[in-house]
Structure 1
């Protein structure tokens, strides 16, 4: 067995962030009657997603903090929709934060593959840039917690992927070394490049089959393909 320790990303790799966020945003759109502004739910979701992704890039780059991310994403969405910041309902960001982690959608074959890997004797861990309390809620709601020995969040570590220090921290927590470890994630910069720089082999999870020119140890478009590698 070449690898003993497998480190997974959570959002967009196991936990289906887009599906869960879509369901949450549709709920909030209806609850606050945002359609009265002449905006479609599809447009609302698209603009929010674009704004949120941009803010997360700033957060991962250390340019804004958690509070700034949460406080600005919905007001900026409403401005982008041609409305006013004050049209953003009071407390909607807190509602989103409360509701989203309780959603349960995961990618196809998630449980089957994790069962297979665990039964094969691999030791499974998580490395995530998400906020600690939110990530644990997601894991519990989707019944994923039991699979992982070590759950390393950027919040508890003090460093965000792709910083090599979060990978080094995770290796230390797991009692692992880099040559016997493999990182599985969807983000070329955070997961793949970060793991590479820390000396870990990588699996790039690319369900959309996006074109790229990165050198990667393995690439898959479905989690079931991990059975062919491991």
Structure 2
């Protein structure tokens, strides 16, 4: 059923439009080769991914700094793998990761199709917790930046989703109101609960086969957004 009275559509970026897991894996392959790190990439990713998720949760909750996240996720992964990598090399890997991440730009299936479709009737925006220096490059290099009237990231605002302040900042920047706006994202905590808490409508982009217990609208393919918008 189509949702009425929506003028502005807000998207999360990573894991919603930009295929973070695929691009990140390719980046690690590249920087391990550059820095001669002899670790089997899939073995590394199996350990790293849950560690990274936990660091991002702590970062959202302001329990760790950006610097701690960037160093700690790599250091903890190598420790768990019992691979000795000194601090200097980890710092370089951390910098190289940020530098090369935007050189891979796989998007989720049908990203261009859905943005073209929505762009005809709505004003489109991004709200992201990703780092300022990377997010703009990702969008520019993957050729989606021009679709969005505004881009709000957590470093601009000083808080991260689900904090209401970042949503209110984004709404002000877009010159719109919660009741005429909708948020689409893959994180139930950051995107869905965060947006709901300030009165925005929401659609959960389910990339991990999670069935929600409540009546939240959800899709597992971007083109399915056409059922609602």
Q: Which aligned segments of 4 or more residues in structure 1 are displaced greater than 4 angstroms?
A: none
Spell out, residue by residue over 1:169-221, the C-alpha distance to the aligned partner (whole angstroms, 9 max, x if none): 111111111111000000000000001101001000003321332441x1100
The normalised TM-score by structure 2 is 0.93
Instruction: Tell whether the 8 Å contact from 1:76 to 1:85 is kept in structure 2 after alignment.
Output: no
Spell out, residue by residue over 1:21-61, the C-alpha distance to the aligned partner (whole angstroms, 9 max, x if none): 011112223333333xxx42211122222221111111111
For 1:152-163, list aligned pairs within 5 A.
152-163=152-163
- Is 1:104 the counterpart of 2:67? The answer is no
Could you say what the CA RMSD is over the residues aligned between the two structures, in angstroms?
1.5
3-state SS of paired residue (2:32): helix
Spell out, residue by residue over 1:91-129, the C-alpha distance to the aligned partner (whole angstroms, 9 max, x if none): 11110110002221000000010001112x200001001
Distance 1:191 1:64 in 2: 20
In structure 2, the residue matched to 1:224 is: 223
Distance 2:214 2:170 in 1: 24
Distance 2:21 2:190 in 1: 18
3-state SS of paired residue (1:102): coil
In structure 1, the residue matched to 2:192 is: 192
Aligned length: 225
- Is 1:30 the counterpart of 2:33? The answer is yes
Distance 2:159 2:41 in 1: 35
In structure 2, the residue matched to 1:166 is: 166
The normalised TM-score by structure 1 is 0.93
Deviates more, 1:24-33 or 1:49-58: 24-33
3-state SS of paired residue (2:210): coil
Instruction: Tell whether the 8 Å contact from 1:78 to 1:88 is kept in structure 2 after alignment.
Output: no
In structure 1, the residue matched to 2:63 is: 63
Distance 1:126 1:191 in 2: 11
3-state SS of paired residue (1:98): helix
Deviates more, 1:154-163 or 1:78-87: 78-87
Long gaps (5+) in structure 2: none
In structure 2, the residue matched to 1:89 is: 89
